[in-house]
């Protein structure tokens, strides 16, 4: 072989090798707000249908035992962004607390950005619950941010102001509960534009939509689809003075979820039109169980999917959420998985797929083998949650056993209710008296996994 031919051979080999190297996948999380385990028709909803998400479930992987990071918004999102559960993460409750500056509270976005990903957060920030710091998401690893940094403001769908990369934008024709620009439509349009601009490089997008959290309000064409379909019950809950009055709360709730479903469908369609859906892992989930605010009736819609409890409960209905993973050509279609996972598993999963180092302090376990349907999937020995409202609560899942402690602030060594989820997924029977050894093991997990901070400490 001549030298020239040898050089050509090596060059061709390098080109072929480069072409054969797998492209690191784009990573998208679409996060709904207060969507219950039973609020999608592919998870049993019978009052209305969600055809776009049902299609993604048929084409991908539907998890039946996925858990949110908490039973309310801010701490749940914090666990997703850090890979740490609520006994370890800094932001453990709603309220005036935010992620600290780096190197504290390192966010998955910063890790992925360092690995060569472009990163965006659009919608509710999750990095702060009540803040005026519109640049915090950019400092925590997101190249682009557009949305709310104050989650109280995010209760309204027609905001008078939003933040874009540290600059406050004003919407003069919006008035909170009504107006010209619906927030979720602004967010979807921004997400589609950002994907268009970044389609040639691996990217990470967290699209954090508000539906179906109260206020109960939906764009008129969506509400019209359900108006008059249900017997309506006027709002009479303790939040009535905070949220807008909605005379048809059932129709409006159904419209909000249907609108959300359509938006996810439009996002998936754009990925397909750009020819990058095969290169994209799309995960859809919700930040906690269903709310009962603003007139929503979760019992009417069976929003908890037959599970006990709702938002602010550490029973299954407050924590277990729908989770759908879609990745054509990688995830075999039509699969259902009972693999037990929690929000803090997303960070190590994304790091593995991106070829980035997993957070050293993560409580999570990558579930890449479960996504691919090959290899050995590690499982959790236990899952832990703590909640700082209503007297303080703790919960542990240990195999098929679930322990729940109430009143933990006043009595951190108080009684633990025990449920056998294999036989009693609705947590109807407390069997603690029959299994003191299991209760003791769960109490030990609660004591071990709660790491006190200056703000959050169960006093003994």
Q: Are residues 311 and 232 in the same domain?
A: yes
Helix, strand, coil share (%) of the chain residues, nearest 5: 30, 20, 50
Q: Are residues 152 and 91 in the same domain?
A: yes
Kindly state the tokens that stand for 394. Answer: 């703790």
Q: Are residues 306 and 401 in the same domain?
A: no
Task: Characterize 122-144 residue by residue with b for buried, 16 or more Cβ atoms within 10 angstroms of its Cβ, and e for exposed.
Answer: bbbbbbbbebebbebbbbbbbbb
Work out the pLDDT band at 437, boundaries 50, 70, 90.
very high
Number of domains in the chain: 2
Give residue-wise pLDDT tens across range 380-412: 999 999 999 999 999 999 999 999 999 999 999
- Whether residue 38 is predicted with pLDDT greater than 80 in this model: the reply is yes
Question: Residue 368 is part of a domain; what is its CATH number?
Answer: 3.40.720.10
Cβ-based neighbour number of residue 182 at 10 Å = 19
Q: Are residues 347 and 394 in the same domain?
A: no
In terms of Cα–Cα distance, which of 246, 221, 224 is closest to 235? 246
Q: Are residues 388 and 357 in the same domain?
A: no
Give residue-wise pLDDT tens across range 317-351: 999 999 999 999 999 999 999 999 999 999 999 99
Instruction: State which residues form the domain around 410.
Output: 383-449
Give residue-wise pLDDT tens across range 244-287: 888 999 999 999 999 999 999 999 999 999 999 999 999 999 99
Q: Are residues 329 and 242 in the same domain?
A: yes
SS3 346: helix
SS3 343: helix
Q: Are residues 409 and 295 in the same domain?
A: no
Over its C-alpha atoms, the chain yields an Rg (Å, rounded) of 22
Which of 324, 351, 372 is the last residue before a domain boundary?
A: 372
204 contacts 193 by C-beta, under 8 angstroms: no
Q: Is 272 inside any structural domain? A: yes
- Whether residue 7 is predicted with pLDDT greater than 50 in this model: the reply is no
């Amino acid at each position: 072989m001549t030298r020239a031919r040898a050089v050509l051979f090596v060059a061709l080999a390098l080109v072929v090798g480069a072409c054969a190297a797998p492209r690191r996948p784009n990573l998208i999380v679409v996060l709904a707000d207060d969507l219950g385990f039973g609020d999608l028709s592919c998870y049993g909803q019978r009052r209305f249908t969600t055809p776009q998400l049902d299609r993604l479930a048929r084409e991908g992987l539907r998890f039946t035992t996925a858990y949110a990071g908490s039973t309310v918004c801010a701490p749940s999102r914090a666990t997703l962004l850090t890979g740490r559960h609520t006994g370890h993460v800094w932001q453990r409750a709603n309220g005036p607390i935010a992620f600290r500056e780096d190197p504290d509270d390192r966010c998955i976005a910063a890790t992925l950005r360092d690995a060569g990903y472009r990163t965006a957060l659009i919608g509710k920030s999750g990095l702060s619950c009540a803040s005026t710091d519109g640049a915090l998401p950019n400092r925590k690893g997101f190249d682009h941010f557009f949305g709310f940094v104050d989650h109280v403001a995010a209760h309204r769908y027609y905001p008078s102001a939003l933040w874009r990369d540290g600059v406050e934008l004003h919407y003069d024709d919006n008035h909170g509960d009504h107006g010209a620009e619906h927030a979720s439509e602004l967010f979807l349009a921004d997400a589609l534009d950002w994907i268009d601009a970044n389609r040639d490089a691996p990217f990470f997008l967290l699209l954090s939509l508000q539906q179906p959290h109260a206020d109960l309000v939906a764009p008129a064409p969506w509400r019209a689809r359900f108006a008059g379909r249900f017997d309506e019950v006027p709002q009479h809950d303790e939040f009535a003075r905070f949220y807008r009055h909605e005379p048809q709360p059932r129709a409006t709730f159904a419209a909000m979820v249907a609108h959300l479903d359509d938006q996810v469908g439009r996002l998936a369609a754009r990925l397909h039109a750009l020819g990058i859906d095969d290169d994209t892992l799309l995960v859809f989930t919700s930040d906690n169980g269903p709310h009962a605010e603003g007139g929503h009736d979760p019992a009417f819609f069976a929003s908890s999917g037959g599970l006990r409890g709702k938002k602010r409960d550490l029973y299954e209905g407050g924590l277990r959420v729908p989770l759908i993973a879609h990745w054509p050509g990688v995830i075999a279609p039509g699969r259902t998985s009972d693999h037990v996972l929690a929000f803090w598993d997303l960070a190590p999963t994304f790091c593995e797929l991106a070829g980035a180092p997993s957070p050293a302090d993560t409580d999570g376990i990558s579930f890449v083998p479960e996504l691919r349907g090959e290899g050995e999937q590690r499982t959790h020995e236990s899952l832990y949650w703590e909640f700082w409202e209503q007297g303080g609560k703790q919960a542990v899942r240990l195999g098929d056993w679930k322990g729940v402690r109430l009143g933990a602030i006043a009595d951190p060594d108080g009684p633990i209710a025990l449920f056998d989820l294999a036989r009693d997924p609705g947590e109807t029977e407390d069997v603690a008296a029959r299994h003191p050894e299991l209760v003791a093991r769960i109490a030990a997990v609660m004591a071990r996994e709660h790491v006190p901070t200056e703000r959050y400490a169960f006093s003994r």
